[in-house]
């Protein structure tokens, strides 16, 4: 195998490795940036929802309970959870893909029942009550989401007016939601997660595309560089070596001893050509001496 072929194979393999590493790094950086951005969006949504519920609890509920009879119950007026879920449905219409859920293992509203994945997170919070948040990624129906979950605790005796015994809950509430599920909650029990799902499929696809573009541009640049190096090797190394090789063979056979071997360059090849030329002169002298 010639010098040039060997050199080009090594360069080709090295370039390929560098390209793959660059592509992977680009994908990984973009993916991490996408997750970080999703996390900050999730943080905003979570805090906004918590603030909205706080408003309900502190500012709205006391006024409404003065205005409405004890057994009357209008979910969107009187439950911060209902109001927040309904508000988010409108949000979802404007920004499809984003989802929230008050996922409970024993919910009043059936839509809020935790699925297997949400139950696992709920159990994590129950096992470690100091834990404030769980986050990660999950695929739901083929779409990738970044999720953030915070635990919801029965932190007030008021909660038990509606969530303990159906007999003491507002009659309207029992009429709307039934008396089967959503009751017998205990004080300080972690009963639900607030789950926020941020879509990331698009950002991940974008990360892949950026990595592929970088790979394409990198491959183009490397191919061009390899081509230029190959040309240089052909002209600057391989061809002169072949010439020197042919001349040396001629000299060894006593031919062409009157033609100088000169390659005008200041590198190793020039120096080799001068050495061969001195050899030519010596051989010529030895032959004339005989």
How many whole angstroms separate alpha carbon 44 and alpha carbon 26?
Answer: 27
**192 and 185 Cβ atoms separated by less than 8 Å:** no
Cα atoms in the Cβ-side hemisphere of radius 13 Å centred on 20: 5
Task: Find where tokens 């600057």 sit.
Answer: 236
Q: Is 192 in the site for ligand HEC (CB under 6 A)?
A: yes
Span interacting with ligand HEC, options 159-167, 206-214, 219-227, 252-260, rule CB under 6 A: 159-167
Nearer to ligand HEC, 81 or 145 (CB): 81
Nearer to ligand HEC, 31 or 53 (CB): 53
Q: Is 43 in the site for ligand HEC (CB under 6 A)?
A: no
Structure token digits, residue 115 = 């699925």
Nearer to ligand HEC, 154 or 244 (CB): 154
Q: Which of residues 92-121 bind ligand HEC (CB under 6 A)?
A: 102, 104, 107-109, 112
Nearer to ligand HEC, 27 or 73 (CB): 73
Nearer to ligand HEC, 23 or 107 (CB): 107
How many whole angstroms separate alpha carbon 81 and alpha carbon 126?
Answer: 21
Query: Dihedral (C-alpha) 83, 84, 90, 95: value to the nearest 10 degrees?
Result: 180
Q: Which of 162, 203, 233, 263 binds ligand HEC (CB under 6 A)?
A: 162
Q: Give one word for 142, left, alpha or beta, with left for phi > 0 and alpha for psi -120 to 50.
A: left
Q: Which of residues 64-83 bind ligand HEC (CB under 6 A)?
A: 75, 78-79, 81-82
Q: Is 158 in the site for ligand HEC (CB under 6 A)?
A: yes
Nearer to ligand HEC, 35 or 83 (CB): 83
**112 and 102 Cβ atoms separated by less than 8 Å:** yes
Number of residues that bind ligand HEC (CB under 6 A): 26
Q: What are phi and psi of 276, to 5 degrees?
A: -65, -35
Q: Which of residues 119-138 bind ligand HEC (CB under 6 A)?
A: none
The 10 Å CB-count burial string (b at 16+, else e) for 264-281 is eeeeebeebbeebbeebe
Q: Is 273 in the site for ligand HEC (CB under 6 A)?
A: no
Q: Is 191 in the site for ligand HEC (CB under 6 A)?
A: yes
Query: Dihedral (C-alpha) 186, 189, 190, 192: value to the nearest 10 degrees?
Result: 0
Distance of CA 274 to the CA centre of its chain: 60
Q: Tell the smallest beta-carbon distance from residue 96 to ligand HEC (Å).
A: 20
Q: Is 193 in the site for ligand HEC (CB under 6 A)?
A: no
Binding positions for ligand HEC, rule: CB under 6 A: 75, 78-79, 81-82, 85, 102, 104, 107-109, 112, 152, 154, 156, 158-159, 161-163, 170, 173, 177, 182, 191-192
């Amino acid at each position: 195998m010639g010098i040039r072929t060997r050199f080009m194979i090594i360069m080709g393999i090295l370039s390929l490795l560098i390209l793959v590493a660059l592509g992977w790094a680009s994908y990984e950086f973009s993916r991490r940036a996408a997750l970080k951005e999703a996390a900050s969006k999730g943080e905003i949504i979570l805090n906004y929802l918590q603030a909205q519920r706080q408003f309900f609890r502190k500012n709205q509920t006391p006024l409404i309970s003065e205005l409405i009879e004890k057994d009357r119950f209008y979910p969107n007026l009187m439950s911060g959870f209902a109001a927040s879920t309904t508000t988010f449905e409108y949000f979802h219409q404007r920004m499809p893909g984003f989802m929230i859920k008050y996922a409970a293992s024993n919910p009043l509203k059936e839509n809020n029942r935790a699925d297997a994945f949400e139950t696992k997170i709920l159990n994590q919070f129950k096992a470690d009550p100091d834990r404030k948040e769980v986050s990660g990624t999950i695929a739901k129906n083929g779409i990738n989401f970044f999720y953030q979950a915070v635990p919801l605790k029965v932190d007030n005796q008021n909660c038990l007016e509606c969530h303990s015994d159906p007999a003491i809950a507002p009659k309207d509430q029992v009429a709307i939601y039934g008396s089967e599920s959503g009751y017998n909650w205990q004080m300080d029990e972690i009963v639900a997660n607030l789950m926020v799902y941020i879509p990331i499929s698009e950002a991940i696809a974008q990360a892949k595309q950026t990595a592929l573009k970088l790979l394409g541009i990198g491959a183009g640049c490397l191919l061009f560089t390899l081509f230029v190096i190959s040309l240089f090797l052909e002209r600057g190394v391989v061809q002169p070596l072949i010439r020197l090789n042919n001349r040396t063979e001629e000299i060894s056979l006593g031919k062409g001893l009157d033609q100088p071997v000169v390659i005008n360059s200041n590198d190793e090849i020039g120096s080799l050509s001068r050495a061969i030329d001195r050899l030519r002169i010596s051989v010529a002298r030895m032959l004339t001496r005989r």
